[in-house]
């Protein structure tokens, strides 16, 4: 590939180095010895010139082998600009990323944003419901977990209800049903090692907080479906709140009631109720066995990853749940 020119026994007129000598480096400089060894660039040849039998000063003679590539350096040895290397590395990294991951993330973010202010679906308008249904359908089509019941480690843990279309739960959400009582949280905890499910509704009132829960067993019936059998209901022991606050207004049976004139009376009631709550708090939760053979339902998990789960019930209702500790909860 390279053109090779040999310069043989050319006398040196002065000690300055030629271009060829500079290419060879400082180790190939003129030596005062009678025998001078010059090693070519590829280290494959060595020529030794013996100058003997002369009493006068001998000018050193070098045999130099210079390689001059008339075509330029090999392509493999060409130095690439730094920008090209970075661009190539970025291109490889981009190929390794799954474009569907970013699409799923955007869909999840859009779904959570659309749930804001809907009070788990109770206050969602028809237009908002249609948008939510559309986003849920798109996520279900991109479900990263084809067989959720075979990914029990993902199902494990506590899931917070973010949205539902189940009308039966709306009675709990409505403040008109239980005046001065608010539903703080609805959750579902799954223990796949024992095949148990616990559904918990947490209530908060002006005096205390309490929970209403059900315990159930589940059986795997398909890669996406589980059969749930409820075993008992539990009414949690009320816990006295640190601070008691009485709202100025309350809604009851569709009417707004002004509680300001009643604050004095309510304060005395609070003191009595507080003592009652304290006595009740020392008692264990009330467990109610469920012996009804019809207390069963099935649940179909249509989307599952490490922070979001979408399930559909036997009545056609949809449930959107977020794993406890997920950053998605901060947007609700």
> pTM for the complete prediction?
0.62
- Banded model confidence at residue 219, pLDDT cuts 50, 70, 90: very high
Which H/E stretch holds residue 137?
helix 126-141
Note the pLDDT tens digit of each residue in 164-175: 999 888 777 665
**Contact, 182 vs 175, CB < 8 A?**
yes
Q: What is the 3-state secondary structure (H, E, C) of 280-314?
A: HHCCCCEEEECCCCCCEEEEEEEEECCCEEEEEEC
Q: Tell me what pLDDT residue 179 has.
A: 65
Q: Tell me what pLDDT residue 175 has.
A: 59
Which H/E stretch holds residue 227?
strand 225-235
Q: What is the mean pLDDT of the chain?
A: 74
Q: Tell me what pLDDT residue 22 has.
A: 46
Q: Which CATH architecture has domain 146-331?
A: Beta Barrel (2.40)
Q: Is pLDDT larger for residue 239 or for residue 119? A: 119
The whole-number average pLDDT for the span 301-313 is: 97
Q: Tell me what pLDDT residue 148 has.
A: 96
- Does residue 20 surpass a pLDDT of 50? no
- Banded model confidence at residue 14, pLDDT cuts 50, 70, 90: very low
Note the pLDDT tens digit of each residue in 244-287: 566 677 776 667 877 777 666 666 766 776 676 666 667 788 89
**Who's near 85: CB < 8 A, 6+ residues apart?**
none
Single out the residue of 222, 264, 229 nearest to residue 246, CA to CA.
Answer: 264
Query: How many Cβ atoms from other residues are within 10 Å of residue 33's Cβ?
Result: 9
Q: Any idea where the domains of the chain sit in the sequence?
A: 3-76, 146-331
Note the pLDDT tens digit of each residue in 64-114: 444 444 344 444 444 444 444 444 444 444 444 466 689 999 999 999 999
Note the pLDDT tens digit of each residue in 221-251: 999 999 999 999 999 988 777 555 666 777 7
The distance in angstroms from the start CA to the end CA of the chain is 69
């Amino acid at each position: 590939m390279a053109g090779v020119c040999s310069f043989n026994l050319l006398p040196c007129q002065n000690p300055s180095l030629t271009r060829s000598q500079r290419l060879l480096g400082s180790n190939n400089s003129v030596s005062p010895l009678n025998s001078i060894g010059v090693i070519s660039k590829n280290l494959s040849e060595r020529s030794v010139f013996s100058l003997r039998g002369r009493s006068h000063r001998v000018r050193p003679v070098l045999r130099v082998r210079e390689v001059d590539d008339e075509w330029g350096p090999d392509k493999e040895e060409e130095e690439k600009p730094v920008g090209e290397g970075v661009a190539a590395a970025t291109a490889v990294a981009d190929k390794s990323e799954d474009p569907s991951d970013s699409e799923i993330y955007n869909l999840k973010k859009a779904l959570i944003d659309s749930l804001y202010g809907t009070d788990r679906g109770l206050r969602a308008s028809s237009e908002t419901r249609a948008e939510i249904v559309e986003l849920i359908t798109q996520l279900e089509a991109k479900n990263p977990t084809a067989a959720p019941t075979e990914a029990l480690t993902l199902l494990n843990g506590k899931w917070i209800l973010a949205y539902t279309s189940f009308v039966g739960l709306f009675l709990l959400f409505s403040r008109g049903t239980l005046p001065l009582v608010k539903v703080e949280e609805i959750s579902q905890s799954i223990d796949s090692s024992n095949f148990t499910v616990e559904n918990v509704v947490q209530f908060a009132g002006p005096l205390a907080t309490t929970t209403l829960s059900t315990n159930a067993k589940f059986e795997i019936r398909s890669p996406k479906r589980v059969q749930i059998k409820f075993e008992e209901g539990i009414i949690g022991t009320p816990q006295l709140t640190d601070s008691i606050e009485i709202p100025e207004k309350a809604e009851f049976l569709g009417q707004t009631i002004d509680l300001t004139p009643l604050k004095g009376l309510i304060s005395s009631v609070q003191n009595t109720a507080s003592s009652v709550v304290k006595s009740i708090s020392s008692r264990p939760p009330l467990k109610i066995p469920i012996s009804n053979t019809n207390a069963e339902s099935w649940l179909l998990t249509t989307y599952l990853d490490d922070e979001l789960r979408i399930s559909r019930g036997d009545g056609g209702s949809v449930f959107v749940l977020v794993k406890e500790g997920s950053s998605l909860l901060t947007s609700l």
